[in-house]
Amino acid sequence: MSTQINKSSINRIFADEKTGLTTEQALERKAAGLYNEQVKGAEKTTAEIIKSNTFTYFNLVFFILALCVVLVGSYNDLTFFPVIVINTVIGIYQEIRSKKTLEKLTILSAPKAVVVRDGTETEVSVSSLVRDDIVVFTAGNQICADATVISGAASLNESLVTGENIEIKKETGDSLLSGSFVVSGKIYARLDNVGKNSFVSRLTLEAKKKNNNKKSEMMNALDNLVKWIGILIIPIGALMLFNQLYLLRTDLKTGVVSTVGALVGMIPEGLYLLTTVALVVSVMRLAKNRTLVHEMGCIEALARVNVLCVDKTGTITEDKMEFSDICILDNSVEESEIFAILGDFCRSAQSDNETINALKERFDGEKTSGKKAEKVFAFTSALKYSAVNFDDKTSYILGAPDVIMKDNYSAIEDKVNEYHGSRVLLFAEHLGEFDGKNINDEIVPMALIIINNKIRANAPATFEFFKSQGVKIKVISGDNAKTVSEVAKKAGIDGAESYIDARELESKSDFMNAVRLYTVFGRVTPEKKKKLIIALKENGNTVAMTGDGVNDVLALKEADCSIAMASGSDVACQVSQLVLLDSDFADMPSVVKEGRRVINNIERTAALFLVKNIFSFFFALISIIFSINYPVMPSQLTLVSTTTIGIPAFFLALSPNKDIVKGKFMRNVIYKAFPAGFTNIILISYLCIFSGYAGIEFDKMSTMVTIVLGVVGLTMLYRICKPFNSFRRVLWGCMLIVFFAAAVFFPSIFTLVTLDTYEVLILILFVSLVQPFMYLVFNILEFFENKYKKQREKKSV
């Protein structure tokens, strides 16, 4: 039996960066609960999943309606209730299954940290850290707990926790906020507040209490639909019951059952569940393809994406960079001396990006020039260079040639242009001590260093897929615009010849025009990446962004759908909605296809549900206004719903569909559902009127109404199944057979009665009107839709 140690009895230990805590001290703190337990956000526990699926408003309504049916003794009309129970069980099972799958995947992608223990630097999971641990933070690392710097210097960005996009220099003695991230540099820091006591954990707990999860347009539309139906069924149900009992003078049993039939038809009992289950299944399918979903709502954004923003390195090209060549510019200095200075420069620089790693690999072995570094300025995406001040009062700078040379760039421009398609760096001497911010005009160019990274073998095919799907590619890079353009051309990106240097973009109108005119953007700073994403969104696009570095974080946060490579920086993975665990951009087509499949299928099957809801709602109003009997019993509605909505919707929701999603979700659903819903209202109204004049008994009329509703539902299913494939053809045929077989062989279960020849002939007449009437309504809608589109096009011109 483990013994809980009192936290207050654990004294602070102020170890240095060379020794850190001992293993024994770390275990003691963990036993006292002073470890960096990760606070969960809005993820549900198993108990919360069961509770949220069981104790819903509509389940309560269904329970009350079922109780009413039991009290009046109409047990046959309880057929709707087992369907509700089954739906609830399926929802709980799928959500728990998804939770377990994601938990396994999350463990694989859990953030790591380098900690000093027992005098050795070791990589451990962030949750294994304890108070007083000495942790090493370098570029791309997210600060995992509140800490104090004890050695080194780094630039940090706190925008994720404070909202202010400012790089802050942190040195010995400075405090670090958990949730901020390292832009450049390297520091050793002692952890002060871990787990629930850290700043970012307190924010997470507060956010969980407020439950401010941003919902997608589709889920908001469904929430609003459910909310209004939930409000309207109470007065409509009361009026229906009053109409049945006091105006039509029906007996209690008939009145209750008719009212229950109307209300059951108005409630989209399977729609919300189907949507949730389809999204959950989609998350699981993505997980099996090693794509981790942080936010379920991003799947809808993924389906609507028509612009994909990518970086050059790691997306078009491979991650690893290789030294290719060097071009000496200063012939007054011996080549061997330049190589020696480069060697000292590389040995002084921190290994916090692929470029410097490639140079270290090449120049680390060069003999020393005798210079000792006094001050190192790490590379940042904002500045585009790194620099070193040496002890002999010389300063050297390495970075983008056009940025370093400024107005004097023309002196080396022709030479740089000889290497287009490669990353070209300028190594130069900065006359006078460099302050890390301002490059003076006294620059002596010494050499051009050419770095290459290969275009991914599968990149052309990937970009061809997006072109065929109508998705525009925008390449946003910190490199020279012309260089990026050349690489993009080789990768087969459409419009790659159209490029611009982002330094030319200043005003909002500049960005708005640029995103319309150009495909490639070079020399982009992190702040301007963000502005480009905003401009694309304000131009009416749904924007996805892939990234792997610290410089991508602001843009990733702004994109409609953010995708990170797992091999990239910690913070990029943490802020993104999707993480590609294999870090392979070639996985993107399958990810986009999955998003489109699930949203298109939800939209398509939602139309099936809404047909029933439209009919039930408006016919309930008609029966109240004109004081007529509601013609459909709950058991009859169960037959229609199960064969024309429930079963086919389940299978259709899982079928392939890669079309781009356009338009508003609810508008699209209503547009598809209205012809069938309106056909039901008109034909059933006339059938009820005709039956009244012809003296047809209520039970027989109700049977005829059920058959007509079934035929309308099957006709609607036929339209939804288009274009047909073998699976959809079999599905539609099976539903047709099941519906009529149930009506013929099990009439008593569904409260159906035998019809006379006269009534059968009337039924055939109304059934024959279903298809022509529905298509007439559809064509009228299509006519006005096309007319509206033409008017909008004229206005836009």
Question: Which of 132, 146, 311, 352 is labelled catalytic?
Answer: 311
| Dihedral over alpha carbons 40, 204, 288, 457 (to 10 degrees) | -140
The residues pairing with 501 across neighbouring beta strands, listed in sequence order, are 522
**Residues in CB range of 746: below 8 A, 6 or more apart:** none
φ, ψ (nearest 5 deg) of residue 690: -60, -45
CB atoms within 10 A of CB 515: 26
Helix (H) or strand (E) holding 443: strand 443-452
Contacts of 45-54 with CB under 8 Å at 24 or more apart are 46/96, 46/99, 49/92, 49/95, 49/96, 49/99, 50/92, 53/88, 53/91, 53/92, 53/95, 54/88, 54/92
Write the DSSP symbol of residue 496.
Answer: T
Q: Locate tokens 């990006």: which residue?
A: 353
CB 520 within 8 A of CB 498: yes
3-state secondary structure 744-775: HHCCCCCCCCCCCHHHHHHHHHHHHHHHHHHH
**Cα Rg, the chain, nearest whole Å:** 33
CB atoms within 10 A of CB 269: 26
The angle formed by the CA atoms of residues 344, 345 and 350, to the nearest 5 degrees, is 115
**In whole angstroms, what is the distance from residue 416 CA to residue 453 CA?**
17
**In whole angstroms, what is the distance from residue 781 CA to residue 778 CA?**
5
Pair of tokens at residue 419: 């290497």
Pair of tokens at residue 544: 């996805």
**In whole angstroms, what is the distance from residue 75 CA to residue 80 CA?**
11
**In whole angstroms, what is the distance from residue 427 CA to residue 386 CA?**
10
CB 502 within 8 A of CB 521: yes
Q: Which amino acid is at 638?
A: T
Per-residue burial over 392-429, b = 16 or more CB atoms within 10 Å of its CB, e = otherwise: eebbbbbbbbbbbbeeeeeebeeebeebebbbbbbbbb
CA neighbor of 638 nearest in space, from 202, 264, 112:
264
Pair of tokens at residue 189: 């820091």
**In whole angstroms, what is the distance from residue 77 CA to residue 748 CA?**
10
The angle formed by the CA atoms of residues 532, 537 and 542, to the nearest 5 degrees, is 120
- Return the SS3 of 674: helix
Pair of tokens at residue 459: 């990149």
**In whole angstroms, what is the distance from residue 613 CA to residue 265 CA?**
6
Q: How far is CA 782 from CA 17, 636, 674, 787, in A?
A: 72, 32, 12, 8
- Tell me whether the omega of the peptide bond preceding residue 723 falls within 30 degrees of 0, making it cis: yes
Q: What is the DSSP string of 168-224?
A: EEE-TT-EE-TT-EEEEEEEEEEEEE-GGGSHHHHHHHHHHHHT-PPPPHHHHHHHH
- Is 311 labeled as catalytic in the residue annotation? yes
Pair of tokens at residue 379: 């590379």
Q: How far is CA 378 from CA 243, 373, 697, in A?
A: 79, 13, 88
**Residues in CB range of 264: below 8 A, 6 or more apart:** 62, 65, 80, 616, 634, 637
Enzyme catalytic residues: 311
